[in-house]
Amino acid sequence: MLAGLVSITAPCPVVEPWAAILIGLCGGVLFYLSCKLLLKLRIDDVVSASPVHMFCGMWGVLTPGLFATTKNWNMAYATLGDAVVESCVPDSGASACTLELEPSFACTFTPGNEASCKPTDASTTAYPEATSTCVYTPAGDPLPEDGGVPCGIFYGCDNSGSQIMAQIVFILAILGAETALFVPRLCYKRPFHQDRLGADIGKTEGKGCFLQPGLVAPWDCSASS
């Protein structure tokens, strides 16, 4: 369950419900496989934090580049113009002189009723042979600003490729930062004689790469006994 929740955390505002279910299920499979991988590499993770938060977290960060929809991206990150407002307005057609010839032509409508969009009674009386017509526009979602909005590669919008690359770069940046902070700490020779996990874990003899008796990180930077 935690694997699924972590997997859907990053993409939750930009994916559809069916994609959220799929992402969570894939996160569960990834959790199981990553646990097996750590055991095979002889890396001890007693609470399975790495499978849940690292592997499933990376999967979650990647998924907006796969399953994000343009509509959800717009609503989540406000990459939008103004909302489309319901209206019924005069349409002068191709004639540039129509509005000047019929300056007081106006339209009226009942909100939510397209069929009610028509010239006002005053306009019909003033311009019995009016060439202007009334055009109804329903209310709608805000339209995206110029430049396009990203989506997942499965939806094929113009920016889908750039979005998946952005997700990959973000994952690599996080891995680089965490590696730079964490690995030196493992390898630092600090003057303690007992691992903080408890007396039954064993002696480190001052070498920081020791994780558990018989289990040593694959990047072992100092011999441990």
Q: For 84-95, what is each residue's pLDDT tens digit?
A: 788 888 875 545
Give the Cα separation of 4 and 30 in Å (integer). Answer: 10
- pTM score of the predicted model: 0.56
Least confident interval from 42-46, 73-77, 130-134, 200-204: 200-204
pLDDT, position 121: 82
Collect all residues with Cβ–Cβ distance below 8 Å to 221 and sequence separation of at least 6.
Answer: 186, 187, 209
**Mean pLDDT score, 145-150:** 63
3-state secondary structure 33-84: HHHHHHHHCCCCCCCCHHHHHHHHHHHHHHCHHHHCCHHHHHHHHCCECCCE
Mean pLDDT of the chain: 76
| For residue 34, pLDDT beyond 50 | yes
Highest mean pLDDT among 80-94, 181-195, 204-218: 80-94
Least confident interval from 161-170, 180-189, 214-223: 214-223
User: What is the full DSSP assignment across the chain?
Assistant: -HHHHHHHHTTTTTS-HHHHHHHHHHHHHHHHHHHHHHHHTT---TT-HIIIIIIHHHHHHHTHHHH--HHHHHHHH--B-PPBPPEEEEE-TT-TTHHHHSTT--EEEETTEEEEEEE-HHHHHH-TT---EEEEE--BPPPBPTT-----TTTT-TTHHHHHHHHHHHHHHHHHHHHHHHHHHHH---S-SB-TT-TTT-B-TT-TTEEETTEE-TT--S---
Q: For 54-95, what is each residue's pLDDT tens digit?
A: 999 999 999 999 999 888 887 787 655 566 788 888 875 545
Cα 145 → chain centroid? 18
Highest mean pLDDT among 144-148, 167-171, 180-184, 211-215: 167-171
Least confident interval from 12-16, 19-23, 129-133: 129-133
Of the pLDDT bands very low, low, confident and very high (cuts 50, 70, 90), residue 5 is very high
